[in-house]
Amino acid sequence: EYQGVETGIGNSQYSGQVTIGTTAAGSGFAMTDNTRGGHSTYDLNGTSGTRTLVTNPTDTWGDGTVANRQTAAVDAAYGAQLTWDYYKNVHGRNGIKDDGVGAYTRVHYGKNYVNAFWSDSCFCMTYGDGAGNTHPLTSIDVGAHEMTHGVTSATANLIYSGESGGLNEATSDIMASAIEFWAGNPQDKGDYLVGEKIDIYGTGAPLRYMDKPSKDGRSRDAWSADLGSIDVHYSSGPANHWFYLASEGSGAKTVNGVNYDSPTSDGLSVTGIGRDAAAKIWYRALTTYMTSSTNYAAARVATLKAAADLYGQTSTTYLNAANAWAAINVGP
Ligand code: ASN
Ligand code: ZN
């Protein structure tokens, strides 16, 4: 049988109609993307382990609603594809391990499961269907967040507890935001929010806010001595806040229709360097200078080394990146 690389049409829940890499298989098509390391998308059909490759008689997938079980697969495949393309096109990274090998995705995990996760042991991402099985956790930012956990494991390997755990989480949020902006999808525009599409609280509120992390009621805006003792999804706050401040600067600002207002812990204003520079700095720091035990003070040093490499130590980009660290109470 002919096994060809194809481009399918996917009707997603969160991102409108998109194209996804597929394969002609037998008399139909499979959700396997051989242009991106053979990344395949599987349906767990409400179980926690029995997976079936998503296939279809035609190369048009899903209908944009949860009633069609392919829809979540479309969203997840699209997010994985964008994440692969972002790392390759922006950072020159060829897959999670930079070896051209794809991971894989599993959707419809369990019942009413309100989470998604990356696993190093299966080298795969898994998505629940959300509360009432109505909001699968398959948005671009959640997918990019989970896949970035794989990149972190393959590089700095930041230990998932204490301050390094917060930095691990922040790396996933930072790259997720960068990827969402880079994707430029008109139905899911870039923002400095995490999980704004999946409605985890049923109120429309996102999971996390990078301009002012404390808006979620738990995350920290700035470093303090007890930061390493809180959950990694909240100790990520200061680093997420660094990314926002470094990208956009402090104060009030509207980006893609979302209003932000970012405070600084030192009361001094910060001038943004743009998110592309901030993301390049973070990625280079992650892949060149951070180690498994990097804490906030060391992350500052790592990003400033990266900024010096990329832009020069006397550049305004370097200076403003340093000012953003001072603004979250991490100083020399
Ligand atoms: N979705 C969560 C995360 O990626 C799962 C976890 O707590 N590890 O952070
Ligand atoms: Zn995470």
The 10s digit of each residue's pLDDT in 114-127 is 999 999 999 999 99
Inform me whether the pLDDT recorded for 100 exceeds 60.
yes
Return the best residue to mutate from 106, 113, 124, 146 for the ligand 1 pocket (most ligand atoms within 8 A of CB): 146
Mean pLDDT, the chain, rounded, equals 97
CA pseudo-torsion sign 247, 177, 80, 162: positive
Cβ atoms of 134 and 66 closer than 8 Å: yes
Measured by CA distance, the residue closest to atom 8 of ligand 1 is 117
pLDDT tens string 116-165: 999 999 999 999 999 999 999 999 999 999 999 999 999 999 999 999 99
Q: How far is the CA of 45 from the centre of ligand 2 (A)?
A: 24
Q: How far is the CA of 117 from the centre of ligand 1 (A)?
A: 5
Quickly state the pLDDT bin for 26 (edges 50, 70, 90): confident
Q: How far is the CA of 146 from the centre of ligand 1 (A)?
A: 7
Cβ atoms of 144 and 175 closer than 8 Å: yes
Residue 58: closest CA among 124, 9, 113, 103: 9
Inform me whether the pLDDT recorded for 1 exceeds 80.
no
Inform me whether the pLDDT recorded for 3 exceeds 90.
no
**For the whole model, what pTM was predicted?**
0.98
- For residues 116 and 319, what is the distance between their CA atoms, to the nearest angstrom? 37
Inform me whether the pLDDT recorded for 32 exceeds 50.
yes
Task: Kindly state the tokens that stand for 34.
Answer: 């051989």
Atom of ligand 1 nearest to the CA of 160: 8
Cβ atoms of 84 and 37 closer than 8 Å: yes
Q: In the predicted model, what is the mean pLDDT of residues 68-87?
A: 98
- For residues 88 and 85, what is the distance between their CA atoms, to the nearest angstrom? 5
Q: In the predicted model, what is the mean pLDDT of residues 21-34?
A: 95
Q: In the predicted model, what is the mean pLDDT of residues 279-307?
A: 99
The residues that are catalytic are 146, 233
pLDDT tens string 264-289: 999 999 999 999 999 999 999 999 99
Inform me whether the pLDDT recorded for 37 exceeds 60.
yes
Q: How far is the CA of 7 from the centre of ligand 1 (A)?
A: 31
Task: Kindly state the tokens that stand for 22.
Answer: 């597929």
- For residues 320 and 23, what is the distance between their CA atoms, to the nearest angstrom? 46
Structural domains of the chain sorted by starting position, each given as residue range(s) with its CATH number in brackets: 5-154 (3.10.170.10), 162-326 (1.10.390.10)
% of the chain with per-residue pLDDT over 90: 97
Task: Kindly state the tokens that stand for 108.
Answer: 């419809």
Measured by CA distance, the residue closest to atom 3 of ligand 1 is 117
Window from 20-24, 234-238, 265-269 with minimum mean pLDDT:
265-269
pLDDT tens string 177-224: 999 999 999 999 999 999 999 999 999 999 999 999 999 999 999 999
Q: Given this model, what pLDDT does residue 25 score? A: 86
Return the best residue to mutate from 117, 121, 161, 169 for the ligand 1 pocket (most ligand atoms within 8 A of CB): 117
Q: Which residues line ligand 1 (CB under 6 A)?
A: 115-117, 145-146, 149, 169
Inform me whether the pLDDT recorded for 2 exceeds 50.
no
